[in-house]
Amino acid sequence: MNRTVPVLLLTWLLAPGLASAASAQDCVILLHGLSRTSFSMQKMQDVLEGHGYTVSNVHYDSRDGRIEELAQSAISQGLDGCAQHTEGRVHFATHSLGGILVRHYLSRQSIANLGRVVMLAPPNQGSQIIDVFGRVPGFELISGEPASQLGTAGPDSVPAQLPPVDFELGVIAGDRSISPIFSWTLPERDDGKVTVESTRVEGMRDFIVMPYTHTFIMQRQAVIEQVLHFLQHGHFLHDAGGSNDTEAM
């Protein structure tokens, strides 16, 4: 009897389990945005853990300290959380300011087992809202010092000083707004905080626009599914159908 057939059959039967076990060795660091908490990323954490990932959902005080300091402390905390559970690849999924923290960190040091990165609504080219409202007295007191570092130009703009990315990055932008005053100050299609165009960055692998707002984009099921797909495959599902998710317009 040819023993090759049973061996091939056994390999085929075990393959899905082996693939699942391999993905379970990976860890995803979640980084929330400005003036938010790790709770805003909880739904994404639940979905990722349900697909076998270890998740380090980092909470950091986004209003206390400069971006340079927050990048070091928040990402070090995330890496420590991953190291406690796995030695596999480390991925990132970020919202808004969280993406700038990753870019700043990786522009100055490497992560040996870095996997893929997905950024939701990142101000990769800064935000014109900071250009306009950042000069208003009391702005920094209310929004925190990191907010004042997110303008589009000038010596205080961290995004303007960062180099192109050299890691595997996917960016998801939103194009719905519940902030009419802020959107009025933005020159193009926007999510209420940043324009679609300003989320782009040189070197990114993939880019997609979805019909959600800056405030809630990280909690939308369709967005989380795109995050998961990029982490697994390195690209988004551009032909995916619409979602039942709705937001106030």
CB atoms within 10 A of CB 79: 18
| pLDDT score recorded for residue 241 | 46
Question: Which residue carries 């599902």 as its tokens?
Answer: 237
Q: Encoding tokens for residue 210?
A: 């979805």
Give the Cα separation of 149 and 166 in Å (integer): 22
Per-residue pLDDT tens for 167-221? 999 999 999 998 888 888 888 899 999 999 999 999 999 999 999 999 999 999 9
| pLDDT score recorded for residue 24 | 53
Percent of the chain at pLDDT > 90 equals 69
Q: What DSSP string runs through 156-168? A: T-HHHHSPPP-SE
**DSSP secondary structure letter of residue 126:** -
Runs of H (alpha helix) within the chain: 4-23, 42-50, 67-83, 97-106, 128-133, 139-143, 145-148, 158-161, 180-185, 221-233
- Type of residue numbered 135: R
With CA atoms as reference, report the closest residue to 100 among 155, 169, 39, 23. 169
Q: Degrees (nearest 5) of the Cα angle 164, 166, 169?
A: 95
Can you give the pTM of this predicted structure? 0.86
Per-residue pLDDT tens for 60-73? 998 888 999 999 99
CATH number for the domain formed by residue range(s) 25-233: 3.40.50.1820
Per-residue pLDDT tens for 108-144? 999 999 999 999 999 999 999 888 877 776 666 566 7
Ranges of each domain in the chain: 25-233
Q: Are 242 and 213 in contact (CB under 8 A)?
A: no
Q: pLDDT band at residue 85, thresholds of 50, 70 and 90? A: very high
Q: Cα dist. 25→42, 85, 101 in Å?
A: 20, 9, 24
Q: Cα dist. 114→63, 85, 197, 206 in Å?
A: 27, 16, 26, 17
Residue 40 predicted with pLDDT over 70: yes
Q: Are 228 and 51 in contact (CB under 8 A)?
A: yes
Average pLDDT value for the chain? 87
| pLDDT score recorded for residue 226 | 98
Of 112-116, 147-151, 160-164, which gets the smallest average pLDDT?
147-151
Q: Encoding tokens for residue 215?
A: 């405030």
Q: Encoding tokens for residue 132?
A: 């306009």
